[in-house]
Every structure is written in structure tokens, then in C-alpha cells.
Amino acid sequence: MRPCENRVTSTASLSSPIPPFRLIHVMKSTSTLLIAIVLLLFSFHFTHAQDDSKSVKKLILPGESFLLEGHPAFILWPEKEKRREPQPWVLYAPTLPAYPDQHEKWMHQQFLDAGIAVAGIDVGEAYGNPESQTANSALYTELTEKRGFAKKPCLLGRSRGGLWVSSWAIRNTDKVAGIAGIYPVYDLRTYPGLKRAAPAYGLTPEQLEKSLNENNPISQVDRLAKARIPVYIIHGDEDSVVPLKQNSAALADAYHTAGSDEALDLVVPKGQGHNFWPGFFHCQSLVNFTIDRARAGAGMKPVNRKGLPSTENVVVYRDLEYGQADGKPLLLDMFYPTNQSKPVPVVVWVHGGGWKGGTKDRCPAAWLAEHGYAVASIDYRLLDQAQWPAQINDCRTAIRWLRANAKEFQLDADHIGAWGGSAGGHLAALLGTLDAPIDEQLPCRVQAVCDWYGPSDLLTMPPNVVGNGRTAEDVAKSNGARLLGGPVRDLPDLAKQASAFYQVSVDDPPFLIMHGSKDPSVPLEQSRKLHEKLTEAGVSSTFRIVDGAGHGGKEFQTPEMRQIILDFFDTHLKPGQ
């Protein structure tokens, strides 16, 4: 029977006998006997309540910790309604007093949200020695035979945790659904080095060196490759603590030699070392791999992620914090091409939803990552959080963050485009037209704008104008009124500030404007007049009417439409290519 969430137990306390001193008195009467029994039960309950209150291990997320054969162990549990039988799970390493840590919290939360449990056992600085392998086997047996866990977990090793999981996997290839790694160690000689590792093996450095064929994982990873165990690793190319070449790249070489290339994905962020770069711990691609392999180990199908770019040439970083507003994080997702050797241009996707809904989680622009672009899909404050100009300020903050972190993510800070639909098109157009603050330290202007059916003039948008059946009361409740904080007609100056049509100037970037001929929400005239205003100002603007399309829809995602968009961004964000 599976234990309750947040329960802290100790197998030692549960198996300990009742202390004999409680039974040595000879009971001389029934009343004395009853009192003794009550005291005995109270003492038993109190002792176990104390034991249960002692946390064997501090956890970063809800779960339980317990002792297993004298070693601290833990399970991070999904919510009860998300648990399964058998329970898919991740075997994590290194489990140490400080690990898993706060840097990994987001990642482990994704596992739990997907119904995947996470478990590990602490054997100290074992560096994959036989004791750690025995302990992992004990945990495996405890979970699979007594707690209903699946027979094949996905293994996840961070840094020296790679030694833990690979050593166990090499000897248990039939029990492994997959292996994920964050700059993992596979070669003892690189980290911690033979001198530091030898005591964990009960050997001298010289003896350990002679036994490397048996004890060094990298010497035996051909077993993993021949078993075609799926692997996903993210490892920086400037890691001086755990060198890429001798560890993850060497594992990739073994897979290549065995003809198992398709079973291994190695993502190498340029310029990254052994650090807390958020891309390592917010790598959605690694998370997706781990979830799918854990599900496969439980006999479940992979999660359907229809519409996302292929994982072969794109890595996804999710929930990156680009700023804060009112004490809450502002987040973006980044789709990054892995087959690039130099910094790449960026396209920022701004979602629609009438400024009151929508989310970065659905990104129609993600396919551009397969064509050499980093795509940043951003969230911004909605109307239930803030009024104008919070929305455009958040978009500008995202642009500045991308420029400030261009080196970290290998972005071309000089070539950033904006693309959005509906309310997102409105904001994207303003990123291209609205004058930037005079005192800004990092520029927030963009070099190209793709505007999908965005309102360009709030003063003339039908929901903001009395007539055609709309009363003053209706107009006062429009999305535009909610955005500005009052009826749009009563706030003409603010409405013009929030309308790209009134902000056009000769120094604006090139525009591609696309609008459905049958749009029932934003009149076609909104895009036509913006195009004409840009052209009059001498700004390059292309206006494309999508015949038969409404307010968005499949007509905007055809191969022809995508090619038009790709050609536009290639022309203006990839000069000379």
C-alpha cells in the first residue's frame, strides 16, 4: 500500500520491538493491568509519533523520506489523482543532503505534474562505487516490489550523479527505460579524479587505476549503447569541471560506434560551463524526454505534443524569468536551434487574447526554430493584473532581457523581430513604432515586425465606438476600455499612445501585416490604414490579405503563408545570408 503524501517514516522505527522494560512488572490487580496497558499504548504511540516527526531528509517538494538499509531515501510524489499503477518514476542522483536542490525544483515539479514520481537514495560521496549500486538496487526493489512502481524507471544524473546512474544502468540494462543527464560525469578520471574517488572504492589510487575497466563507467558504456537505451544529455562546451569531450561526448562516440546514434541526443550550449545557467534546469526538451521514457517504463504512451517543433534540431527552454512585476515573475519560453555554430537571430512571439487571456504556452511561431531562429514566446500582464502601459512595458522588458542575455543563450542581439496575433499583433506593432524611453540602458526596439490582424487604432475599433447597436454602457465595458482604464473615446491621448497608427515614424523597422478578408473581430481596415501610414512615412511595409480567413485560423498556417513569413524575417534578420 502506497504511503500518504508528506508522510515521513523510518523503516528502522517501524520494525523496532517494544522496549522490554515496559513488561517486567507483575500485575497484581485488574486495574493495575489496565493502567499499565494504557501507559504502554501511550508510550508506543508517543515514541512513534516522535520518530515520524523527524525528517530523514529535507525535500524541495511534497513527498516522503525514510531510511532504507540505513541510508536516507526519498520519494517526491505526484498528487494522488495523478498517480498510476504501475507508478512511472525517475531514479535520481546524486541524492545527498543538499540534493536535489532549489535549482532543480522547477524540473522536478514538471515530473510531478505529469504524474511521474522521483526517488533517490543517499550513500554519501560514493562516485558510483559497488555500495551505491547495491543501495540503488535496494531502492529499486523496495519501490517495484512493495510500492507498485514500474519495473523500468528513467534515470537522471546531474554532475557526479552521472556516475551513480550510469554505474547502476550498466549492470541493469534490462531495468532502465532511459537516461537523462545534466553535465553528467561518466569518467572517474576527470571528476573527482582517482585520488579522491579511491577511498570510496576502498582502494588506493593505483589500485583504482588498474581496475578502471571494471569500475569506470566510461569504460563500459558500450553495454548501454548495445542495449540501445535512450539517452538525452545537456552539457556545456566550456565545462572545465566535467569536460564534455571525456564524458558526454565520449558516451555519444560509444553510441555511434555501436550504430545507436538515433538513441542518443546531446545538446551542447555554446559558452556554458559547470554552472547554474537556467537553461540547464529549465530544459523542457530534457524534461519531455524524461517524462516520456518514465511513461514508457510503465507501459504508457508518450505525451502527445502536437504542434511543437521536432526535438531533433530544437531544444526548448521553458519558464525562463525575464523580469518581475508586482512581485511576480514574468516568464518566457525559448525554442532554440541546436544545429547552429554562431549566435542566431530572435523572433519574439506575443500571444493574443484581447489583453485579458492567452498564454505563451501556445506558440504558433515555434516552427521558425527549425529555420535557424531562436523563438521567445512571452507572457505579459493581463487586464486582471494591470492596465496600460503594463503590457507594452513587459514586452519591452522581454526584449531587453534577451539582449542582456544574448551571450548566455548565443543570440544575435542586433537582430530581434516581433510577431504577434490580435492583441499580440497590436503589441508587436507598438514594439516597432512606439518611441523608446530616453533613459533606457538597453534598447527595446526591434528590427522587424510581423503583425497578424492586430488593432492599430483603438479610437476607431468598433467595440470602442457608440453605434451599430452598441450603447455607451457597452463601450465602457469593452476590452479597449478595460485596457486604458475608461471609455476609449474619453481618453484620446492615451488611446493614441496605445495605437501603432499614431506612432509611425520614418525610423520604424520593416513590417509584414497579414489580415483575414473575413475577420469578424478586427476590421480589415485596421491593418490597411496602418500599412498605408507606414508606406507614407517611407517605412518598408508589406500588406497581405489572407483570402477567406477570419480572425486567425488554419489559413494563416499554410506552407505558403509560412514561406512568406520566413522570407520576410530572413530578409531583415539574416542580412548577407
Q: What is the CATH number of the domain that holds 212?
A: 3.40.50.1820
| 58 CB neighbour count, 10 Å cutoff | 9
The C-alpha cell at 170 is 550498466
**32 contact partners, CB below 8 Å, separation of at least 6:** none
Judging by beta carbons within 10 Å of its beta carbon (0-12, 13-18, 19+), is residue 40 exposed, middle or buried? middle
Q: Are residues 239 and 365 in the same domain?
A: no
Is residue 483 domain-resident? no
Whether the full predicted model's pTM is greater than 0.85, yes or no, is yes
In angstroms, the CA 412 to CA 270 distance is: 13
CA distance 552 to 354: 13
C-alpha cell at 386: 494591470
3-state secondary structure 166-200: HHHHHCCHHHCCEEEEECCCCCCCCCCCHHHHHHH
Q: End-to-end CA distance of the chain, in Å?
A: 62
Using the 8-state DSSP alphabet, how is residue 143 labeled? I
6 within some domain: no
Domain match, 323 and 391 both: yes
Q: Is 24 helix (H, G, I), strand (E, B) or coil?
A: coil
Is residue 463 domain-resident?
no
* Interval 356-400: pLDDT, tens: 999 999 999 999 999 999 999 999 999 999 999 999 999 999 999
Q: Which conformational region is residue 380 in: left (phi greater than 0), alpha (psi within -120 to 50 degrees), or beta? A: beta
In 3-state terms, what secondary structure has residue 447? coil
Determine the pLDDT at residue 40: 41
User: What whole-number distance in Å separates Cα of residue 62 and Cα of residue 228?
Assistant: 34
Beta bridge partners of 378: 332, 350
16 and 67 belong to one structural domain: no
Residue 232 falls inside a structural domain: yes
The reply to whether 78 and 152 lie within a common domain is: yes
Distance from C-alpha of 70 to C-alpha of 15, rounded to nearest angstrom: 13
The predicted structure's pLDDT at residue 10? 34
- Contact 294/116 with Cβ under 8 angstroms? yes
Q: Which helix (H) or strand (E) holds 516?
A: strand 511-516
Could you say which DSSP state residue 434 is in? S
Residue 126 and residue 134 in contact, taking contact as beta carbons nearer than 8 Å:
no
3 state DSSP class of 73: strand
Q: Are residues 408 and 449 in the same domain?
A: yes
462 in a structural domain? no
Burial class (CB in 10 A: 0-12, 13-18, 19+), 265: buried
Evaluate whether 429 touches 456 at the Cβ level (below 8 Å): yes
**CA dist., res. 369 & res. 297, Å (int):** 30
Q: Does residue 395 belong to any structural domain of this protein? A: yes
Task: Answer yes or no: do 383 and 265 share one domain.
Answer: no
> In the chain, helix, strand, coil percent, each to 5?
40, 20, 40
Q: Does any domain span residue 563?
A: yes
Q: What is the DSSP letter of 256?
A: H
Comparing C-alpha atoms, which of 66, 57, 59 is closest to residue 13? Answer: 66
Contact present, 447 and 418 (Cβ < 8 Å): no
The neighbouring-strand residues paired with 178 are 154
Residues 6+ apart with CB under 8 A from 444: 395, 396, 397, 399, 400, 431, 436, 437
CA distance to 132, 510, 524, 552, per residue, from 421 (Å) = 53, 17, 14, 8
Whether 206 and 268 map to the same domain: the answer is: yes
Written as one string, the DSSP assignment of 334-388 is: EEEESS-SS-EEEEEEE--STTTS--TTS-TTGGGGGGT-EEEEE----TTT--T
What total number of domains does the chain contain?
3
Strands 63-68 and 448-452: unpaired
Cα 489 to Cα 475, 480, 498: the distances in Å are 9, 10, 13
Distance CA 70, CA 67 (A): 6
The Cα 24–Cα 443 span in angstroms is 82
Give bridge partners of residue 232 from the DSSP assignment. 180, 265
In one-letter notation, the amino acid at residue 516 is G
For residue 15, give its domain range: 11-53
For residue 196, give the amino acid letter. Answer: R
Task: Indicate the residue type of 47.
Answer: T
346, 415: one domain: yes
Same domain, 45 and 103: no
Q: Name residues of the chain where pLDDT drops below 70.
A: 1-55, 307-311
Q: Are residues 379 and 321 in the same domain?
A: yes
Domain end among 270, 297, 324: 297
Query: How many angstroms separate the CA atoms of 564 and 567, rounded?
Result: 5
Q: Please state, for a pLDDT cut of 70, what percent of the chain lies above it.
A: 90
Q: Are residues 388 and 523 in the same domain?
A: yes
Q: Which helix (H) or strand (E) element contains residue 400?
A: helix 390-404
Q: What are the E-state strand segments in 69-113?
A: 71-76, 89-93
Same domain, 269 and 367: no
Full DSSP string of 52-66: HHS-SS--SSSEEEE
How far is the CA of 139 from the CAs of 86, 119, 168, 200, in angstroms?
16, 8, 12, 20
Phi-psi region of 467 (alpha: psi -120 to 50; beta: other; left: phi over 0): left
- Residue 183 φ/ψ, nearest 5 degrees: 30, 60
Neighbours of 362 (CB within 10 A): 13
Residue 260 lies in a domain: yes
